[in-house]
Amino acid sequence: MRWFIDLAYLGAPFHGWQVQPGVITVQSTIEDALAKILRSPTPVTGAGRTDAGVNARRMIAHVDLPDGFDPRTGTFIRSLNSICGPAIAIRSFRPVAPDAHARFDATERTYRYFAHTFKDPFAGPLSWQAPATLDFDAMNSAALTLLGRRDFTSFSKLHTDVRTNICDLRAARWIELETPGKWAFEITADRFLRNMVRAVVGTLVDVGRHKLSIDGLADILTAKDRCAAGTSMPGEPLFLWEIKYPY
């Protein structure tokens, strides 16, 4: 029977989500924990592939468990969390259709990148200390030029295995949080390319520093050249924030 797992994790201890030989990842940690409890290899498939250091406030993964086994009963979730360790929190299991797919069925994903404009010893590394002079109004104006169904090759890591670099970007804006000087860049799309959010943030920061114009950002998008865009920002302040499904 297929189940959706709702989980969260701190990205710092892991080399990203996806299983890779010789390193510890979120996916491999969860699969190892499941194998220990169920005494059988139990692969999981995530809704996305976050990079090293990137966090998830909410990740969805699907897993096939033996018929008749209900992971919501007894101490299963508590045992799974204990084995996974403190950086991963398994929140719940939800039964879904046999053909439900955590990655391919997702219709929308939202990321948040956190920043603060004052010295705060308690914010890092989960928030980036931005220059106090950063022009957030200019960055929001520039972000509007990215909206729509577009080719985001200029903001993608090179030599990836995806078939297309076209994404439908539905929202992109800097939001000032309840504490003055604390910000989050929230970006929503049907899909994201590898390193895309961090590259977009880095390029918008160039706009906020008045090193790049809004027209210049549009030219970068048209160029379809990763070398034309800004630097990739650190991964630790980035969170996979929400995932939506049609069911």
Amino acid at 225: D
Distances (CA, A) of 83 to 9, 94, 156: 14, 20, 35
> And the tokens for 123?
């914010």
The active-site residue out of 32, 51, 64, 105 is 51
| Sequence-ordered list of residues with C-beta below 8 angstroms from that of 75, at least 6 positions apart, any chain | none
**DSSP line for 100-137:** --TTTT--EEEEEEEEESS--TTTTTSSEE--TT--HH
Q: Is 135 one of the catalytic residues? A: no
Distances (CA, A) of 187 to 138, 160, 193: 16, 21, 13
How many residues does this entry show for the chain? 247
Positions marked catalytic: 51
